[in-house]
Amino acid sequence: MAQKYVQRSFILWLMLFSLLFSFFSFHVSASFDEVPAQFLSRVQVQYKQQCAVCHGDNAQGNISLNAPVLAGQYAWYLQRQLNNFAVELRGIHVDDSHGKAMVVIAKQLKSQPEELLQLTAYIESLSSVAIASSSATKSFLPTNEANIKAKLKNGSRYYQAKCGACHGGVAQGNKSFKAPELAGQDTDYLKRQMNNFVKGIRGNSKKDKLGRQMAMMAKTTQGKELDDILFYISQQK
């Protein structure tokens, strides 16, 4: 009797698990292309038409196009950056070849404030998936186990001392400090932004208080220390 019960409940659990698993894998693999257009909401259509070509169908980013991950990023941060591009606080420096791509797009969005709110809320709602290890991560990825541990330990120490207070202990971001999530982001992109802040390509206008603040922070780290910090961030998702 008892054994039968155990067997039956085992089968039930198995069914439940396979159900959950198929549901989960559908969510991970489903992309816009598989969903007939009539089932997409207006905001999904807008994302697909205006953003997906560079940032990916699920806002997972595209390393070869230098387009960062947007999925799961806070809407308030996305809104601020889109506004910065639109009012030319970001993306207009002569050396900002990647930022340029966003200026025209952001200007057009600024004239549709309602759509912009919905679009950023939609992007935040997409579950963020860690982007595949980028070339920057690979170039400073240690080859043996002991070195990985040491690098992670150093990175964690530097990160907690210099970045964690604003960006959160596991790089999850912090609304009170208006600091975005960094975990899960393409390492090449993060490195480029740090470099942009240091060189005054981003965060150099008087009107861009938060960018200027971050530029000051970026100037406190470089070289191997920065690589260790970025390695620590890359391991948080």
Residue with Cβ nearer ligand HEC (14 or 173): 173
Minimum CB distance to ligand HEC, residue 232 (Å): 9
Residues paired with 67 in a beta bridge: 62
Chain positions contacting ligand HEC, by CB under 6 A: 50-51, 53-55, 66-68, 70, 78, 80-82, 98-99, 101-102, 105, 109, 119, 162-163, 165-167, 177-180, 182, 190, 192-194, 210-211, 213-214, 217, 221, 229
Minimum CB distance to ligand HEC, residue 217 (Å): 4
Minimum CB distance to ligand HEC, residue 192 (Å): 6
3 state SS of 228: helix
Minimum CB distance to ligand HEC, residue 174 (Å): 8
CB 188 within 8 A of CB 66: yes
Q: Cβ neighbours of residue 136 under 8 Å, at least 6 residues apart?
A: 187, 188, 191, 230
Residue with Cβ nearer ligand HEC (141 or 210): 210
d(CA 147, CA 68): 28
For residue 10 the two structure tokens come to 């085992």
d(CA 42, CA 56): 18
Residue with Cβ nearer ligand HEC (12 or 121): 121
3 state SS of 31: coil
* Sign of the C-alpha dihedral computed for residues 207, 101, 62 and 24 taken in this order: positive
Minimum CB distance to ligand HEC, residue 165 (Å): 5
Residue with Cβ nearer ligand HEC (9 or 97): 97
Residue with Cβ nearer ligand HEC (28 or 65): 65
d(CA 169, CA 4): 48
Minimum CB distance to ligand HEC, residue 110 (Å): 11
How does DSSP assign 156-214, residue by residue? HHHHHHHTHHHH-TTS--BGGGTBPP-TTS-HHHHHHHHHHHHHTSSS-STT-HHHHHH
